[in-house]
């Protein structure tokens, strides 16, 4: 079966490149555009996997760095891979650990931590070979190279896997951005090579894994475009856009997408890394993006922020569950919402749960936010199919 099917090839001349499609994997189909909630450590925090279908979650995102740090890729492999181990029951996408160069490394490469011996060492060290990380919480040193990232991702066994890249920190100058982007390109070629090699090796890849190359290029138009061209023409089943939403304004985020849009492949699924606000998603969908992973709905929910949107086409409005003004609110989070939370619980009760730090509160809030996203994407697919987007 074909990996990616586009159901409505965008008509020539039409401005919008929005499309509906299906990504077929060994663990199920993903209807695109799709939201990919983040289950970094193998769990979509607070939500039991058996409820994914009811919410409308068809795919999730796990993180190689965190899983290698604990429980270890080998352990996961011994259990038969992440599907058997974590029982998420849906297709999975794994990140390559590339993002952690940025998020754990402190951006401008200055961040240092103390080891057990009290010695000050940099959190990350980037070289042509790869990146040496120290897990900030225990000082454990972990080496990532394109080859190792591929190996770990094969051991983990997600369906869709990411090339090892460097998410270049916001504010990097042109020269650094160019060097890092080109290095990421070289790493991509090493990833492709490594994956090919080990796909035939014993013990790996009983289910097919699809590799995505990642576009970088920072905030520079020519570098973005060069990167998009380069990545799109590599022999990978998918393409991802990375290095976005790491400190830029919304306007700058959109700009980066616009630069890259003309070079996005029409026959490969396109993933946008880290984007998760409804208005940004709508924009990206018009540029031909198919899938989006983002921590926002789940993290915000746990931080007491839930969506209460009136319109799908603006950024979702938010309700702060911690605000004491909701103590006596009898209505649900969002009137008319058909999610489990809104169908059953008053804002007052959920507010109470949050104030008391009751576990059910985090679950109900996460449920609602994920459902809001699922609805939003269902709506997007319908509208695109109807030619309205």
Partner RNA sequence: GCGUGGAUGGCAGAGCGGUCAAUUGCAUGUGGCUGUAAACCACACGCCUUCGGGCUACGGGGGUUCGAAUCCCUCUCCACGCA
Residue 354's Cβ-side half-sphere holds a number of Cα atoms within 13 Å equal to 25
Binder among 26, 201, 323, 386 for RNA (CB under 7 A): 323
Q: What part of residues 172-211 is at the interface with RNA (CB under 7 A)?
A: none
Q: Sort residue 225 into left (φ over 0), alpha (ψ -120 to 50) or beta.
A: alpha
| Alpha helices (H) along the chain | 52-55, 64-69, 73-78, 82-86, 98-103, 146-156, 174-199, 221-232, 250-260, 278-286, 296-302, 340-344, 347-355, 359-385
By C-beta, is 6 or 321 nearer to RNA? Answer: 321
- Active-site option among 138, 290, 293, 320: 293
Q: Which stretch binds RNA (CB under 7 A): 140-148, 170-178, 231-239, 297-305?
A: 297-305
CA 145 to chain centre: 20
Comparing CB distances to RNA, the nearer of 362 and 377 is 362
Q: Which position among 226, 280, 283, 290 is part of the footprint of RNA (CB under 7 A)?
A: 280
Query: Using the rule CB under 7 A, is 275 a contact of RNA?
Result: yes
Determine which residue in the list 63, 219, 227, 236 makes contact with RNA, applying CB under 7 A. 63
Known binding-site residues for substrate equal 165, 216, 243
* 95 among known catalytic residues: yes
Q: Which of residues 107-166 bind RNA (CB under 7 A)?
A: 113, 136-137, 162, 165
Q: How many Cα atoms are found within 13 Å in the side-chain-facing hemisphere of 263? A: 24
Give the interface segment with RNA, choosing from 25-33, 75-83, 322-330, 340-348 (CB under 7 A). 322-330
Q: Which residues contact 365 (CB under 8 A, 6 or more apart)?
A: 301, 302, 304, 305, 306, 321, 341, 350, 354
> Is residue 345 within 8 Å of 365, Cβ to Cβ?
no
Q: How far is the CB of 212 from RNA (least distance, A)?
A: 9
Kindly tell me which residue out of 25, 32, 40, 334 binds RNA, with binding defined by CB under 7 A.
Answer: 40
- Beta-carbon contacts of residue 160 (< 8 Å; ≥ 6 apart): 23, 25, 59, 91, 92, 93, 94, 209, 210, 212, 238, 271
Are residues 290 and 34 in contact, defined by beta-carbon separation less than 8 angstroms? Answer: yes
**Is position 279 annotated as part of the catalytic site?**
no
Stretch that binds RNA, among 23-31, 79-87, 260-268, 291-299 (CB under 7 A): 291-299
Point out the annotated binding site for Zn(2+). Answer: 337, 339, 342, 368
Q: Residue count at the site for RNA (CB under 7 A)?
A: 56
The CA distance from 334 to 143, in Å, is 46
Q: Are strands 28-32 and 270-273 parallel, antiparallel or unpaired?
A: unpaired
DSSP line for 167-184:
-PPTT--HHHHHHHHHHH
Residue tagged active-site, from 29, 95, 159, 222: 95
Nearest approach, Cβ of 168 to RNA (angstroms)? 7
* Choice between 317 and 359, CB closer to RNA: 359
Structure tokens at 296: 């926002």
Taking the least distance from each CB to RNA, the nearer of 6 and 353 is 353
Fill in the per-residue mask, 71 to 100: x = in contact with RNA (CB under 7 A), - = not in contact.
Answer: ------------------------xx-xxx
Give the Cα separation of 134 and 123 in Å (integer).
5
Nearer to RNA, 202 or 357 (CB): 357
The answer to whether 322 contacts RNA (rule: CB under 7 A) is yes
**Which residues are paired to 61 by β-bridges?**
38, 93
Structure tokens at 383: 């509208």
Structure tokens of 328? Answer: 């006596």
Binding segment for RNA (CB under 7 A), chosen from 60-68, 84-92, 367-375, 376-384, is 60-68
Which pair of tokens denotes residue 194? Answer: 């490594």
Tell the smallest beta-carbon distance from residue 389 to RNA (Å): 19
104 binding RNA? (CB under 7 A): yes
Determine if 38 is a binding residue for RNA (CB under 7 A). yes
Tokens 């020519």 — which residue? 222
Which positions lie near RNA, rule CB under 7 A? 38, 40, 45-46, 61, 63, 66, 95-96, 98-100, 102-104, 113, 136-137, 162, 165, 167, 214, 240, 242-246, 250, 253, 273-277, 280, 293-296, 298-300, 302-305, 320, 322-325, 355, 357, 359, 362
Catalytic residues, which ones?
95, 293
């Amino acid at each position: 079966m074909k990996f990616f099917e586009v159901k409505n090839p965008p008509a020539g001349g039409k401005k919008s490149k929005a499309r509906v499609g299906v990504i077929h994997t060994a663990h199920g189909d993903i209807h695109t555009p799709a939201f990919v909630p983040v289950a970094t450590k193998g769990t979509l925090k607070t939500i039991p996997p058996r409820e994914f279908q009811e919410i409308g979650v068809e795919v999730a995102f796990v993180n190689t760095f965190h899983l290698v740090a604990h429980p270890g890729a080998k352990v996961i492999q011994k259990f038969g891979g992440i599907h058997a181990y974590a029982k998420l029951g849906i297709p999975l996408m794994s990140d390559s650990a590339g993002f952690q160069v940025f998020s754990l490394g402190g951006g401008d490469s200055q961040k240092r931590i103390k080891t057990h011996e009290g010695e000050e060492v940099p959190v990350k060290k980037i070289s042509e070979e790869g990146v040496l990380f120290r897990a900030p919480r225990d000082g454990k040193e972990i080496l990532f190279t394109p080859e190792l990232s591929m190996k770990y991702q094969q051991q983990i066994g997600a369906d869709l896997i990411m090339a090892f890249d460097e998410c270049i920190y916001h504010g990097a100058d042109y020269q650094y951005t160019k060097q890092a982007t080109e290095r990421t390109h070289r790493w991509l070629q090493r990833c492709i090579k490594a994956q090919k090699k080990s796909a035939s090796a014993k013990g790996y890849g009983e289910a097919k894994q699809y590799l995505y190359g990642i576009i970088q290029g920072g905030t520079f138009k020519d570098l973005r475009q060069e990167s998009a061209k380069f990545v799109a023409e590599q022999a990978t089943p998918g393409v991802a856009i990375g290095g976005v939403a790491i400190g830029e304004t919304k306007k700058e985020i959109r700009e980066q997408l616009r630069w890259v849009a003309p070079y996005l492949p029409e026959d490969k699924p396109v993933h946008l890394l880290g984007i998760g606000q409804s208005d940004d998603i709508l924009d990206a969908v018009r540029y031909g993006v198919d899938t989006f992973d983002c921590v926002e709905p789940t993290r915000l929910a746990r931080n007491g922020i839930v969506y209460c949107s009136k319109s799908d086409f603006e950024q979702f409005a938010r309700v702060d569950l911690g605000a004491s003004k909701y103590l006596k609110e009898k209505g649900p989070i969002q009137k008319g919402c058909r999610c489990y939370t809104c169908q059953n619980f008053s804002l007052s009760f959920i507010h109470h749960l949050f104030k008391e730090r009751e576990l059910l509160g985090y679950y109900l809030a996460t449920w609602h936010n994920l459902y809001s996203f699922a609805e939003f994407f269902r709506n997007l697919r319908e509208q695109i199919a109807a030619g309205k987007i």
